[in-house]
Amino acid sequence: MSLLGFQRALAAIVADPGLRRRAMERPAAALPGYDLTPRERRRLADMAGQRGMALNCILHRANRMTPLHRLLPLTCAALGADLARVVDLFWRTHPRTNMQFADEIGRFAGFLKERLAAGEPANPLAEEVLDFECARFHLRFTRPRRGAEGGEAAVGAAGGAPALHPRVRVVAFRHDPERVLAGLAAEGRPPPAAELPEGEHYLVLDGRHEEPRISRIGAPLGRLLKRLEAGGPPGGDAEAAAALARTGLLAPAPSAGTEARR
Amino acid sequence: MAPPAADSPAAAAPELGVGLLYNRAVAQFLRFELDGLDYVEFIPDLLRTDHGPGRAPRFTGIEEQIELMDWVAERRPVIAHSIGLSIGSAGLFDAEYVEELARWQRRYRFPWHSEHLSFARVPGEAGADHHAGIALPVPYDRETLDLVAGRVRRVQEAVAAPLLLENNVYFTEIPEQEMSEPEFLNALATETGCGLLLDLHNLYTNARNHGLDMAGFLDALDLSRVVELHVAGGNEVEGMYVDSHAGPCPGEVWDALAAVAPRAPNLRAVTFEFDESYYPALGAEGVRAHLDRARAIWARRG
């Protein structure tokens, strides 16, 4: 069906300004591999040259940017002048999208973490801000129906070891999270690096409420909770175990005979 | 006013009046101002996350949004206005998406539902489809008519509510088309019995960008097929006018509403659309003003 070829080619032109230029300049050669009738090739060449195609390309990029701006605004602010370049590279690396916000955020988060790990860009704040926003997004968009929270199965390792409640996330920061997040939210940029000495900080996001409740916890407890979040044993002594239990952040123990699941 | 045609979806559709298309910015507005609305239109795609064809589960509800729509549906009729079926996509028909629409219909009993006459999803060579990132026009050719008509019939069989198709905005015109847009819409409605959602702002956008003759379009369109009208506003981007729903409704759109409403014998509803990004500028007062103006025209239609 050549209409399929036409639509594939048209969508490709909209997503790729470079392809649009080639379709305008060398229409016969620009779209090899697409099943097109002569009329469709003429149509695409004509459409590529219309002023409206530039707008199509702009709107495509704006629509792809929407989930990032809407759901990762602080991460976008933390990237600052690097944002345009990072997003451009993301789109060239992942030219296809299903436009589902959750999938797009997940894909971008994975991509950005790889780039940050490679130091491209070198940005000491972006990863922890990204982790925070991804955790918050996950809790907001996976909130169970009112009244159903109690039905959520407990998570527990074999032998009844403690486990983090599935509606709780722990985010580690190397910089003061309150200063970083407040600065990004208020000013659209992070505080100057000189004002942010490195340290060990933890935020807990408790998604068992209408909106995730965010609180700060000390480093010793934060480390324990992060180990639980990763599925491992918390370690520590009896005093640490008691402190964990007092947080109210652990999953309820599975009842006898039921299978724990996440 | 002529009675509805026997095969028209409007034959059974209730006359609703004036409403708005829900967006997240107006959640509080709905809680306090529902008395000013005859119905609420919602986008089912925004009430859940779609994990993609073949995934299990395919759809995960966004409970906060569903809870609000449940609350509205207890008090007002709701209408579904989908954005993700991509009914004009060649080589792709999402039966799971349509099944989900049917579930929403069983939940909310909407008197009709609507979709856009366009395509956005494209099947990939390896099977997984991707999204063009923007709704794109379909050529008004016989091949497209046959394709879309078949799709319309499948939706009509699956979802127990009439389907309306909405006229599209296009920033690039497709040359050498076999039919005009009104001819295509008329033929589609005649062949399938589907209704039309006439978006007057889309029409205005195309008129402004391409010199389309609005009056000529409306004269050529079979207005007896129009069940719902949309009004909205937009703004300029890079020298063209965009149907962004982020601007005041232009005077030309109000004029078109006043001209069309009395001529559409099966008109059942007028919906005001605006993007959530526009709400801070528009405010509750602006929403009320648009609804009031629409209602005044609705009341005068005869």
DSSP calls for B223-277:
GGGEEEEEE---EEETTEEE--S-SPPPHHHHHHHHHHGGG-TT--EEEE---GG
Q: A8-35: per-residue pLDDT in tens?
A: 999 999 999 899 999 988 887 889 889 9
Query: Which of B64, B132, B174 is closest, CB to CB, to A14?
Result: B132
Q: B220-229: per-residue pLDDT in tens?
A: 999 999 999 9
Pairing type for strands B226-231 and B269-272 reads parallel
How many residues does the structure list for chain B? Answer: 302
DSSP state of A137: H
- Residues of chain B that touch chain A, judged by Cβ-Cβ distance less than 8 Å: 49-52, 60-64, 66-67, 89-91, 119-120, 122-124, 129-134, 136, 139, 143-144, 147, 170-176, 209, 237-240, 242
Q: Rounded to an integer, what distance in angstroms lies between the CA atom of residue B174 and that of residue B176? A: 7
Q: Rounded to an integer, what distance in angstroms lies between the CA atom of residue B118 and that of residue B243? A: 15
Q: Which two tokens stand for residue A124?
A: 């000491």
Give, in degrees to the nearest 5, the angle at Cα A226 between A189 and A245.
Answer: 125
Pairing type for strands B59-61 and B48-50 reads antiparallel
pLDDT of residue A140: 82
Could you give phi then psi for residue B42, rounded to 5 degrees? -135, 155
Answer whether residue A157 shows pLDDT above 60. no
Tell me if the bond preceding B57 is cis, omega within 30° of 0.
Answer: yes
Q: Rounded to an integer, what distance in angstroms lies between the CA atom of residue B176 and that of residue A226? A: 62
Tell me if the bond preceding A121 is cis, omega within 30° of 0.
Answer: yes
pLDDT of residue A161: 74
pLDDT of residue B11: 67
How many residues does the structure list for chain A? Answer: 262
pLDDT of residue A236: 74
Shortest CA distance to B117 belongs to which of B26, B57, B179? Answer: B179
pLDDT of residue B102: 98
Dihedral in degrees, nearest 10, Cα atoms B26, B28, B29, B35: 130
Does the distance separating the beta carbons of B136 and A56 come in below 8 Å? yes
pLDDT of residue B10: 66
CB B121 within 8 A of CB B83: no
Q: Rounded to an integer, what distance in angstroms lies between the CA atom of residue A12 and that of residue B228? A: 33
Does the distance separating the beta carbons of A141 and B52 come in below 8 Å? no
Answer whether residue A150 shows pLDDT above 50. no
Chain B contact for A21 (CB, 8 A cutoff)? no
Mind listing the pLDDT tens digit of every residue in chain B (302 residues)? 334 455 666 667 999 999 999 999 999 999 999 999 999 999 999 999 888 888 889 998 988 899 999 999 999 999 999 999 999 999 899 999 999 999 999 999 999 999 999 999 999 877 678 899 999 999 999 999 999 999 999 999 999 999 999 999 999 999 999 999 999 999 999 999 999 999 999 999 999 999 999 999 999 999 999 999 999 999 999 999 999 999 999 999 999 999 999 999 999 999 999 999 899 999 999 999 999 999 999 999 97
pLDDT of residue A148: 55
Q: How much of chain A, in percent, has pLDDT values that exceed 70?
A: 90
Query: Which of B136, B173, B238 is closest, CB to CB, to A54?
Result: B238
Q: How far is B132 from chain A (nearest CA, A)?
A: 5
pLDDT of residue A143: 72
CB-neighbour burial class of residue B243 (10 A; exposed 0-12, middle 13-18, buried 19+): buried
Query: Which of A97, A140, A145 is closest, CB to CB, to B130?
Result: A97
Phi-psi region of B119 (alpha: psi -120 to 50; beta: other; left: phi over 0): beta
Q: What is the C-alpha radius of gyration for chain B, rounded to an integer number of angstroms?
A: 18
> How far is CA B41 from its chain centroid?
9
Q: A94-143: per-residue pLDDT in tens?
A: 988 888 888 899 999 999 999 999 999 999 899 999 999 999 998 987 77
Does the distance separating the beta carbons of B133 and A14 come in below 8 Å? yes
Q: Kindly report which listed range (A12-16, A195-199, A209-213, B45-49) carries the lowest average pLDDT score.
A: A209-213
Q: Rounded to an integer, what distance in angstroms lies between the CA atom of residue A123 and that of residue A51? A: 38
Q: Within a 10 A sphere around the Cβ of A257, how many other Cβ atoms?
A: 5
H/E stretch holding A7 reads: helix A2-15
Q: A29-69: per-residue pLDDT in tens?
A: 889 889 999 999 999 999 999 999 999 999 999 999 999 99
Helix axes B142-158, A2-15, angle to 10 degrees: 90
Shortest CA distance to A94 belongs to which of A75, A119, A67? Answer: A67
